[in-house]
Structure 1
Amino acid sequence: MQLWNNKFSNNDLEALHTFEKKVKAGKGNSVEVYFTDISTARSIFKDIISKQQAKNIIADSSGLTRSFLEESLLDESLNIHFDGDKYTANAADIGISEMEFAIAESGNLVELSDS
């Protein structure tokens, strides 16, 4: 999960740490939480792709997600599908969604959905 640091105040750092503790309490060390800027997030994402040896990515087609992926992965030989069907999702090595907000007290993410 990447969080853009220009959207958060110092008060939010405490909430971020609370969120991270709650997430790790429920999911263990299989979850990583980052507080980063967009350029560092690109580097982190490339590392995740490398570690997972991912070749197929499915992502929502929001403007943020699309621009992030297209700018980050210009040199990569990956198959990126935006808003694919369930067969595309099942074949994906990595899935990417944009979340609306995080709830620190429970460690939950909120994603708005539509058809």
Structure 2
Amino acid sequence: MGARVRNLICLHAGTSGPSTWDRFVPSFEELGYRVFCPALLGHGTVPRRRPYRLDDFCDQILRDQVLRELDGPVTFVGNSLGAFVASAVGHRIHSSHPDEWLAIVREFLAFKGA
């Protein structure tokens, strides 16, 4: 029996795009992950619109055809906005299919108050 596929979904911050993850993808792949870095609403070639609600970003990720066809569990990693989206998507997935995700890794920039 072969090793189970490990999927990693990398979600970018609100002021960046999927290319944020370009320098990390080779390292993730060396660790055995199949990596996907989708553009969130209003970024890259994804249409812009207002307002942007967290549920809209979640719906976008959960409807993504490539992501829907993944074999094996999913780990999400998100930066800033991507961390919020990863948390919300993970909650939705866990609520209906607790065996289909492994972890959520959230990264927020440190904020130094005035």
Instruction: Give the TM-score taking structure 2 as reference length.
Output: 0.39
Richer in helix (by share): 1
Instruction: Give the TM-score taking structure 1 as reference length.
Output: 0.39
